[in-house]
Structure 1
Amino acid sequence: MGTLIFSTIVTVGHFIFAFGALINAFWCMQLGRFVYGVGGESLIIAQSAYAVSWFKGKELNTVFGLISTMTMVASTVNFLVMEPIYNWVDQTHVGHVALGITLAVGGFTCVFSLICAIVLAILDRRRSKVLRVASAEVGEKIQLKDIGKFPLSFWLISITCVTFYPTIYPFIGLSKVFFMYKYGLSSAKANSVSSVANIISAFASPMFGFVVDKTGRNIMWVGLACLGTMGAHAIMAFTFINPYIPMVR
């Protein structure tokens, strides 16, 4: 049920955002993004709960790698497809109307996600009946006072995520403008460079997930990932080397 609720919130939030662009109401767009954010992050947690319920042991790293692959493929498609769609719509509609229509077209992927969530909920319920196992949505109850009992390793992982992810996703979201201004690239070329990280991750995530499953050296791989990311950002910040090189790194 949680997955369905969060998928619905994401879908509604995106179409509110698109409607705000259509009527040129910035406050409505902000509202849509807020609603989308409430559902989006919660949906990721629900998705992870399904993965943990359906898969066990060392195969989990590979599973999460495959999930990451699909996410990166979708992000790459977004980078490469949405601008041509906007340019096509802009031929018959202008300004904020073209933007609103383009966002609405992209929103149908949210509808498809909602349909997948419905199918997944049906499959999970059938699995719980046939195998007589607990549903993915049924878990141990957690209370706020339990936070104080979390081990140090949990907090270190949390700090790593909080400090690492802002160097990736916000940068990718803003990298198009960065590449246009610093390297003088066209809009389409900047989108192409921005999508490189997602393309590489789409193929590398399941492979590294498999390697981590086999080696078990999780902390070592996390450290290498952090060092590689630091090096890539340093190259882009202090040099004018071809941007494809640090984005691949």
Structure 2
Amino acid sequence: MTDTLTPQQRPWLRWAVMFSMSMVVFGGYYVYDAISPLRGAMEAELGMSPSDFGWLVAFYSWPNILGITIVGGILMDRKSVRFVGLIFTLLCVAGALLMAVGASDFFRQSALQKSLTDVIPGVSGELFVMITGRVLFGFGAEVLIVAQNKVVARWFRDKELALAFGLNLVVCRLGTFAAFNVSALMVDTTRTFELVPSDTGLWIMASRFPGLSMALWIAAAVMLGSLGAFFIFMALDRSEIKPPGAATEIFRMSDLKDLLTNRTFLAITMLGVFFYGAVFPFTSFATDILQNKFGLSTSLAGALPSTVILATIVGTPLGGLFIDRFGKRATMMVFGSFLLMAVHLTLALTMLTPIVPMIVLGLAFSLVPAAMWPSIPFLVPERQLGTAYGVMGMLQNVGLWGVPILIGQVTEWANPGVTAARVKQGGGTWDYTAALLLLAALGAIAFVLSLKLRFGAGGPGARELELPRTGQSK
């Protein structure tokens, strides 16, 4: 009978389910990071200052701060990943398309662009449309990550859980790797120069980036491909196929209270808030930081952060294998958080070639996620998994919303007299030292939280994180 079919009878099935869902989230990571190498191009083509760009990055997190990941997680726990996931995948596609439209030549030359300019005082029509797209994309992307985590935890509950999470993260990081390199290639290979009048009345040579629009259209096309991957996932994850030990209990609203009073779960969640708050906003600004501090070209500065991703492609599954066999989840989070803090201090206070800090950041970015995500099924029942990952997503997005804004504001505060117009004309550069010290402080907080987990002060279950168990649900 098909209603008793399990992945043990069809061993390829759970890996196919994981890979198809990973390809859905691949598109989300690509779209999120595709704008990172475009900071300079957006400044030149659209007049975006660091704070404008910070707002564009940050608005991704706004829907999740309002709790959309919790709502999505509860719906998945009560309904199904397939139904909820399809809705939010379509939102991601709509958001990616709107981002591309906002930077397109036909929109910039349209009457609609003029009518939307200053709808929000001081915000151009292009930025208004791109922020709207970023918000729509944010509504969907984080819920898809919740769905991905729930799917992996459900299909790998009793075997190879950390390895599955590690391989899952590898596919996601490949999305980031592709975004950094493709976007940087698009703007750098199409870069042109033209004479423009400066504030002093002299004519100067200014850069133009006609590849900006194409880079965003490619991102939208990748997200459309992820929609196709979701349909494949729906076919594989159909209801008559039962993962081993599939939950029979239904989520209750009282379970949310249980989660919010679980001290170990909250400690891991807050560690993730500060850790990811010091990583993802940094990668969004990394291209511009490397160009301004080290004088790198757009293509090299855009490609160099991808070494972080290359390191995670190797390190994350190895970390998962280690955890499945030996445990030491909290210890790995301690080392990863310490390395993150050290990387930002090195970039802020030294002129050491950035390739070294980027590789070390990749190691940190392997250790903490490889240990953090598979710890959750170890701490909460399966019926709460979607909600638990939703709570984590919401709180992490508070950091992902606030930190880019802080980076932009702190950078402008630390650079009096420097403006986007002056930088465009070659009359100044941005000093990101203060922003990097801010990121180092976030890493330090994550380090303290990881120490609490390591020495059992995080709450019930904290000491058990060191044990070599697969992380099965309670």
Paired residue for 1:85?
186
Q: Indicate conservation of the 8 Å contact 1:89/1:101, yes or no.
A: no
Residue range with higher mean Cα deviation, 51-60 or 171-180 = 51-60
Paired residue for 1:140?
250
User: What does 1:114-133 correspond to in 2, within 5 Å?
Assistant: 114-125=227-238, 128-131=239-242
Structure 1 50/130 Cα, relative in aligned 2: closer, same or farther at 3 Å? closer
Paired residue for 2:312?
201
Q: Secondary structure at the match of 2:337?
A: helix
Q: Distance in 2 between matches of 1:247 and 1:109?
A: 26
Q: Indicate conservation of the 8 Å contact 2:155/2:244, yes or no.
A: no
Paired residue for 1:192?
303
Paired residue for 2:99?
17
Q: Secondary structure at the match of 2:304?
A: helix
Deviation at 1:238, TM superposition (A): 1.1
1:234 correspondence with 2:355? no
Q: Distance in 1 between matches of 2:245 and 2:233?
A: 15
Q: Indicate conservation of the 8 Å contact 1:164/1:226, yes or no.
A: yes
Paired residue for 2:176?
75
Deviation at 1:133, TM superposition (A): 7.2
Q: Distance in 2 between matches of 1:152 and 1:198?
A: 31
1:61 correspondence with 2:176? no
Q: Indicate conservation of the 8 Å contact 2:182/2:215, yes or no.
A: no
Q: Which residue of 205, 216, 229 maps to 1:103?
A: 216
Counterpart residue type for residue 19 of structure 1? V
1:160 correspondence with 2:271? yes
Deviation at 1:184, TM superposition (A): 1.4
Q: Distance in 1 between matches of 2:220 and 2:340?
A: 31
Q: Which residue of 136, 143, 147 maps to 1:42?
A: 143
1:113 correspondence with 2:226? yes
Counterpart residue type for residue 192 of structure 1? A
1:26 correspondence with 2:127? yes
Q: Distance in 1 between matches of 2:245 and 2:92?
A: 26
Q: Indicate conservation of the 8 Å contact 2:188/2:299, yes or no.
A: no
Counterpart residue type for residue 263 of structure 2? L
Q: Secondary structure at the match of 1:129?
A: coil
Deviation at 1:18, TM superposition (A): 0.7
Q: Which residue of 282, 285, 297 maps to 1:174?
A: 285
Counterpart residue type for residue 165 of structure 2? F
Aligned-pair identity (%): 25
Q: Distance in 1 between matches of 2:244 and 2:318?
A: 30
Unaligned runs of 5+ in 2: 1-82, 109-125, 193-206, 361-474
Q: Indicate conservation of the 8 Å contact 2:96/2:219, yes or no.
A: no
Greater gyration radius: 2
In angstroms, what is the RMSD of aligned CA positions? 2.4
Structure 1 130/167 Cα, relative in aligned 2: closer, same or farther at 3 Å? closer
Deviations 1:63-121 (A, max 9, x none): 11111111111211111112323456678xx9787533331122111111111111101
Q: Indicate conservation of the 8 Å contact 2:99/2:131, yes or no.
A: yes
Q: Distance in 2 between matches of 1:139 and 1:194?
A: 44
Counterpart residue type for residue 110 of structure 1? M
Q: Distance in 1 between matches of 2:279 and 2:159?
A: 26
Residue range with higher mean Cα deviation, 55-64 or 211-220 = 55-64
Greater share of helix residues, 1 or 2?
A: 1
Q: Distance in 1 between matches of 2:293 and 2:135?
A: 31
Deviation at 1:198, TM superposition (A): 0.9
Q: Indicate conservation of the 8 Å contact 1:3/1:47, yes or no.
A: no
Deviation at 1:142, TM superposition (A): 4.1
Structure 1 192/148 Cα, relative in aligned 2: closer, same or farther at 3 Å? same
Q: Which residue of 199, 213, 222 maps to 2:324?
A: 213
Counterpart residue type for residue 70 of structure 1? V
Residue range with higher mean Cα deviation, 190-199 or 7-16 = 190-199
Q: Secondary structure at the match of 2:341?
A: helix
Q: Indicate conservation of the 8 Å contact 2:103/2:130, yes or no.
A: yes
Deviations 1:150-170 (A, max 9, x none): 211011011101111011111
Q: Distance in 2 between matches of 1:139 and 1:2?
A: 19
